[in-house]
Amino acid sequence: MGDSDRIGRCDGETSSTLAADRLSRRAVLSGVGAAGVTGLAGCIGGDDGGTTGGGSAVDSVSIGMVTSTSGPFAVFGNAAITGAELAIEDLESEFDVDIELSTDDSQLEPGTALERARALVTEGNVDFLTGAVSSSVALRLSGWATDNEVTYFPTGSHSDALTGGECGKYVFRPSASNSMLANSISDGMVEAADEWFLMYSDYTWGQTASTAVKNALEDAGKTVVGREAVPFPSDDYAQYVNRAEASGAPAIGVLIAGLDLRKASNQIIASGLEDRTLAMHQLEDFVFWGMDKDAASILDVAGQVWGPATDGGEEFKERVAEQGEMDPYVRHLLGYISVDQGVRAALRAESTAAPDMREALEGHEVSSPIVDMKGGGEMYWRAGDHQLVQPTYTVTSRPTDEMRDDPYKSWFSVENEFAGDDVARPVEDTGCSL
């Protein structure tokens, strides 16, 4: 099913009806909080958006994005905003639709994020929500969005819980889950060593990553000799690196979030452990760009959703680089995907009401430009858990003399590509019930 295929109608709704419905949404959500709100958004027009003959004249979409724009995750949140803005440029060029993006800072606090997301919906009258870097933030927003029938795309969150036991009727994850990334790197880890020590950030992202990696290794007959939960964020990884060294394991899985991965990697180097096999299930190129090239060359195997080394999206990468703020990496694409898929779903549904967008997304096979950006391969929204099933990759550090800086940084090379269906857990194993 292509992005321009027609799914659903909301005949007879006018711009004045939409305005009244948005006021109703604001009143209900402000007064009741978690009460469900059904059918409060309007229809979407446009020649390629799925409308028929006498469709509604509504031709605008308003998007709310709550993400990290300050603090240690600001580089991730701001990159996603840039990607979202580029998606808006492309969508407005392709369709007869006006798109407005409103952003706010989650401050990495689930409570703050929820307060600001609620305000965007009830006061800003946005049609759907995107955003969140932290999986803890995404889980809080996910629960609220489901309770209040608001479509939500957790832009850059990977915890298995989001498409597992805490999945939501109106929540659609555009990134790969921790299990998908762990399954992507498992063959490389299995080939590299028989014994592993794992250190992981002690919150839902790291906890589910640790479980996924441990299960993948043990299913292949390998041994996890130790696991250490590390407080997040942390400035001192020395004691955990020392425990990894004391374990005697020839290989270390570093499942550390955000810029803390840079700190942990630097302390691994300082301890002289860079000669051990190092694996990371989720590579953020930006993290290593803050290190010198010799230090960045320590990585043996990592999983990735997308990056500058991926064979696809060259025009998109160049557009990001031309902005001069930062070089292209995965967070730019995730911001793009969230907006691209949300708007296209509304156009197909001819509605921004969450039940209609859900119908337009579940089981939908993606055919928008993001497929080429990812280098091809099947992408679809799985109906059973709302995971965007998509290709994943394993990458490794390039030799320092092959690390490219122009026209944008590309310090890693793709080793393998995996079809999404080959690495995603079966729906029956996720714990999701929709």
Q: What is the domain partition of the chain in residue ranges?
A: 3-42, 60-176+312-390, 178-304+392-423
**How many angstroms separate the Cα of 119 from the Cα of each of 51, 105, 157, 370, 418?**
30, 12, 22, 30, 40
| pLDDT band with cut points at 50, 70 and 90 for residue 72 | confident
The whole-angstrom separation of Cα 96 and Cα 363 is 26
Structure confidence at residue 50 (pLDDT): 42
Average pLDDT over residues 229-250: 92
Residue listed under structure tokens 């890693």: 412
Structure tokens belonging to residue 257 = 């979030």
Residue 1: is its pLDDT beyond 80? no
CB-neighbour burial class of residue 93 (10 A; exposed 0-12, middle 13-18, buried 19+): exposed
pLDDT, averaged across the chain: 87
* Chain segment 343-359, per-residue pLDDT in tens: 999 999 999 999 999 99
CATH number of 60-176+312-390: 3.40.50.2300
* Chain segment 119-178, per-residue pLDDT in tens: 999 999 999 999 999 899 999 999 999 999 999 999 989 999 999 999 999 999 999 999
By DSSP bridging, strand 277-280 and strand 301-304 are parallel
Structure confidence at residue 56 (pLDDT): 41
Sheet hosting strand 412-418, strand order edge to edge: 223-230, 195-201, 251-255, 277-280, 301-304, 392-397, 412-418
The whole-angstrom separation of Cα 368 and Cα 330 is 18
Structure confidence at residue 315 (pLDDT): 96
> How much of the chain, in percent, has pLDDT values that exceed 70?
87
Residue 12: is its pLDDT beyond 80? no
| More confident of the two residues 92 and 108 | 92
* Chain segment 165-222, per-residue pLDDT in tens: 999 999 999 999 999 998 999 889 999 999 999 999 998 888 998 999 999 999 999 9
Residue 34: is its pLDDT beyond 50? no
Average pLDDT over residues 30-45: 39
| More confident of the two residues 45 and 308 | 308
Worst-scoring range by mean pLDDT, 36-40, 57-61, 246-250, 303-307? 36-40
| pLDDT band with cut points at 50, 70 and 90 for residue 422 | very high
| pLDDT band with cut points at 50, 70 and 90 for residue 273 | confident
> How much of the chain, in percent, has pLDDT values that exceed 90?
75
Average pLDDT over residues 293-308: 93
Tell me which fold the domain 178-304+392-423 belongs to: Rossmann fold (3.40.50)
Two domains, one topology: 60-176+312-390 and 178-304+392-423: yes
